[in-house]
Amino acid sequence: MRGARHRRMGYTPPMPAHTARFRIGQVVRHLRFGYVGVIFDIDPVFAGTEEWYAAVARSRPPRDKPWYHVLVDGTEHTTYVAERHLAPADPPREIAHELVDHLFGGFDGEGYRPRQTVN
């Protein structure tokens, strides 16, 4: 119960690196909607509100698996996506988003290099 209380208070415990399928800076594709984007943050478990989950997560993806914050290519917005809805972009490509240069140090052909470590 302690973990649930901390999440309600805005605390997300650190996630062991081996539990996330994707990494910060990785270019991914949404399996259902087809858009491409780059991961800029990872939550070890769903960290949104019950209201958001009920309204937006209609396929009811697992809350106890990683969720990813993604800059969407060719837009000005971000998305919050359950791990099961993502796949690596093949091939990875550069993303057009106004925050890419702020968050990343450049594209190396395989993904983006983060400017700093994000919790």
Q: List CB contacts of 19: < 8 A, sequence separation 6 or more.
A: 44, 66
3-state secondary structure of 83: helix
Domain count, the chain: 1
Range of 77's domain?
Answer: 2-114
Whether 119 maps to a domain, the answer reads no
Whether 25 maps to a domain, the answer reads yes
* pLDDT at residue 115, as a whole number: 87
* pLDDT at residue 81, as a whole number: 97
Whether 99 maps to a domain, the answer reads yes
Helices (H), the chain: 2-8, 50-56, 100-103
Residue pLDDT tens, the chain, 119 long: 344 444 445 555 555 544 899 999 999 999 999 999 999 999 999 999 999 999 998 899 999 999 999 999 999 999 999 999 999 999 999 999 999 999 999 999 999 999 865 55
pTM of the model: 0.81
Whether 58 maps to a domain, the answer reads yes
d(CA 8, CA 106): 35
**CATH classification of the domain holding 75:** 2.30.30.390
Whether 72 maps to a domain, the answer reads yes
Whether 101 maps to a domain, the answer reads yes
Amino acid at 60: R
Amino acid at 88: P
